[in-house]
Amino acid sequence: MDFPSPNSTKFSDSWNWRSLLRLRGLAREFVRCNVGNGRDLQVLENAKVREVCASDGWIITNPRSDKALNLQIYLTTIQIPHDDQGMDSYDWVVQDHICEGFSSSRTWASVRPRAALVDWFHTVWYKGAIPKHAFNMWVTNLNRLPTKVRLAHWGLNINTTCDLCSSQLESRDHLMLHCDYALVLWEAVRVRLNLPQLSFTSWSDLILWTRTKNCRSPPTLRKLVTQSVIYAIWKQRNNLHHNQAQVLPYVLFKGIDREIRNVIIARRLNKRFEKLMSCWL
């Protein structure tokens, strides 16, 4: 296939075009040519397949190396280009799958860097999640929230006491799992889901809990509730810290409850959500 050379770019060429040319080596891996009449396919700069074959075979000198011999053997498996075969054509092929034209999604999935699947993936990015809750959960799970303990670790000279309980250091695990404020919310969740107990000694306990299930609380509901609680606690923490606006935990839970009901109603046609309302109410 004829790929424009990067050396052929002109000063007046746009940045976009020059950027595309730099990807030619990568793009070449995905392009497969179907030889028809051999009139368009170009192997090197201007060499055309049609020019190296006659009606009775390929016009190639006798092989002088194993490599050349193997090439000739391979060529015998390819039909000689002929006008009856129609025009040459190109396919965009990703991992042996012939795409209908260019597929950005398949190509990106093929070339993007991949890491091993982490065990918390489905707790954060599940189908039907509220995007702002999922993003907040992702940041929280990575322990990247700017809690006071982290801010002090960065060198800020601040009071690291939790604003919600005024008794412990404000770390992620304290704020979300062990703070008296959070404990009221988790207790309300426990009662609503009719669970015998609900306490998390560590963050990994919480992640594990979202992946397990019983008849009253399937994983989708646990993830929905968990992300809503985590989001509400962080929002309330910021509200108290920056605006001195205090909201009692049982009032906050009313808002969480209302939000969860709205989400379930909005996704009631989704198979994962259709029975969740009876579990939550």
List interacting residues with Zn ion (CB under 5 A). Answer: 162, 164-165, 179
Question: Could you tell me if 41 and 33 are in contact, meaning their C-beta atoms sit under 8 angstroms apart?
Answer: yes
- Whether 102 contacts 70, CB under 8 Å: no
Q: Which amino acid is at 157?
A: N
Torsion of CA 149, 155, 157, 161, to 10 degrees: 0
The answer to whether 239 and 255 have CB atoms below 8 angstroms apart is no
Instruction: Compute the least distance from the CB of residue 243 to Zn ion, in Å.
Output: 18
Q: Which is nearer to Zn ion, 124 or 182 (CB)?
A: 182
Q: What is the DSSP string of 118-138?
A: PTTHHHHS-TT--HHHHHHHH
Query: CA dist 19 to 24, 30, 41, 102, 263, Å?
Result: 9, 18, 24, 18, 43
Output the smallest distance, CB 169 to Zn ion, in A.
9
Closest distance to Zn ion from the beta carbon of 168 (Å): 5
In the complex with Zn ion, the residue whose CB is nearer, 165 or 240, is 165
Comparison of 200 and 280: residue with beta carbon closer to Zn ion: 200
Q: Which is nearer to Zn ion, 103 or 238 (CB)?
A: 238
Task: Considering the complex, state which of residue 162 and residue 225 has its C-beta at the smaller distance from Zn ion.
Answer: 162
CA 271 to each of CA 113, 142, 242: distance values in angstroms, whole numbers, following the listed order: 32, 30, 40
Measured distance CA(249)–CA(276) in Å, rounded: 24
| Amino acid letter, residue 171 | S
Q: How far is the CB of 141 from Zn ion (least distance, A)?
A: 19
Cβ 1 vs Cβ 28: under 8 Å: yes
Q: Of the two residues 164 and 264, which places its CB atom closer to Zn ion in the complex?
A: 164
Tokens, residue 120 = 């918390």
CB of 239 to Zn ion, least distance (A): 15
Based on CB atoms, which residue is closest to Zn ion, 147 or 227?
147
Q: Report in angstroms how near the CB of residue 146 gets to Zn ion at its nearest.
A: 16
Is 41:1 a contact under the CB 8 Å cutoff?
yes
> Shortest approach of Zn ion to residue 180 CB, angstroms?
6
